[in-house]
């Protein structure tokens, strides 16, 4: 029973890391490279490669073994680093794409 509980916990953790890495990859690619430069972080390409590798590792870990191997732990660290450090800075320095002034609707 304990073995099946451990496997369940490992599978849930693996699925969570995979979902977070896919989310992080999509989110990282939505910001322009100028936001990364303004935030003082590495380039958009580097974060795309890192999060893409983390996504691949976490996807492969779904088949067996889980994310508690050396590469799995590296994937967890990359995803956590993006969400804790990089993403807040990107949001602070420019958001997504060029900002256009809002046009007011209605009125005479």
- pLDDT digits over 53-85, tens only? 999 999 999 887 778 888 999 999 999 999 999
- pLDDT digits over 8-26, tens only? 888 999 999 999 999 999 9
Tokens matching residue 86: 């990089």
Tokens matching residue 11: 């599978």
């Amino acid at each position: 029973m304990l073995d099946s509980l451990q496997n369940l916990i490992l599978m849930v953790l693996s699925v969570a890391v995979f979902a977070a890495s896919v989310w992080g990859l999509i989110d990282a690619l939505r910001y322009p490279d100028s936001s990364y430069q303004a935030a003082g972080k590495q380039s958009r390409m580097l974060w795309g490669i890192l999060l893409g590798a983390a996504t691949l590792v976490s996807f492969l870990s779904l088949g067996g073994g889980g994310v508690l191997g050396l590469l799995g732990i590296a994937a967890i660290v990359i995803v956590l680093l993006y969400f804790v450090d990089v993403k807040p800075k990107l949001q602070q320095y420019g958001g997504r794409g060029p900002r256009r002034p809002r046009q007011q609707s209605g009125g005479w």
